[in-house]
Amino acid sequence: MANRRCFQTLTRCLQSIRTLSPISECLAPYTAPALNQTLAATPPNYFFVNKFNVYQRAAVAMRSFCSRHTDSDDDEEEDYETEEEELDEDDDDDYGENEEDSANLSAGEKVKGPTEIGYTVLGPLQKSDRVFKLYEPVFAVVQIGSHQFKVSNGDTIYTERLKHCDVNDKLVLNKVLMLGSQTQTIIGRPILPAAAVHAVVEEHALDAKVIIFKKKRRKNYRRTKGHRQELTKLRITDIQGIEKPENTMPLPPPTKEKEKAEKKVAMEA
């Protein structure tokens, strides 16, 4: 790039020297003797230029016209390629930078970030905790970030990657928009401050790969990249803030073996 620009600059300078008019034509002679003296007393620079055949008396101004500027197009292509390479390197380093930023945050900032998104980290799950329960006929609509989910206890949901929480951490989802059961429904304005949904982080996973194709017209530029969004899998364990009816799960139907055993007991009696 630098050598090409230097060569173009040198070519322009030489071309401008070739198109200069001679000194004899620039000076307006008043008389014939004065003209002869002027031609005889030509400065040495004029002969120095003639020595290298840079100036000619019959020089014609040369102009080149071209509809396609190949040099500039090549330069722009190289610039675009270098920009894209820098962007790719930045994308590769984003994940590491995010981890370093989270490590440098204070305790107050670690609490403030999740609260704005809509959850609170309680701590790791202990072996003595009995958080998993049977199904209850109660549902809730919660908001995490910019997404809303309708959940019941025992359900699993995938959200965007939640910060400052690890696998097997207990969470409380604070932004509850609605609660409902078989007998009542409570709608928030916009949220219910007394309601809460408890969950446990099961894993941090990656979504399916999405192909991203980029193209720039008249630049011979095409790029195909893949992206996998980071997700967090949550298991809903409990819903609080609404009266829960008693768990009236239907009993499983009796099998044929049990019916035969009951008949035998009745016959013996």
**What pLDDT is stored for residue 78 in this prediction?**
54
**What pLDDT is stored for residue 210 in this prediction?**
94
**What pLDDT is stored for residue 242 in this prediction?**
92
* Cα gap 93→231, rounded to integer Å: 19
Q: What are phi and psi of 57, to 5 degrees?
A: -65, -35
130 CB-near residues (< 8 Å, 6+ apart): none
| End-to-end CA, the chain | 105
pLDDT tens for each residue of 27-59:
454 455 555 555 555 555 444 444 444 444 444
Q: How confident is the model at residue 195 (pLDDT cuts 50, 70, 90)?
A: very high
pLDDT tens for each residue of 236-256:
999 999 988 776 555 556 666
pTM above 0.85, yes or no: no
**What pLDDT is stored for residue 116 in this prediction?**
87
**What pLDDT is stored for residue 138 in this prediction?**
94
Instruction: Check pLDDT > 80 for residue 67.
Output: no
Instruction: Check pLDDT > 60 for residue 257.
Output: yes
* Cα gap 64→60, rounded to integer Å: 13
**What pLDDT is stored for residue 175 in this prediction?**
95
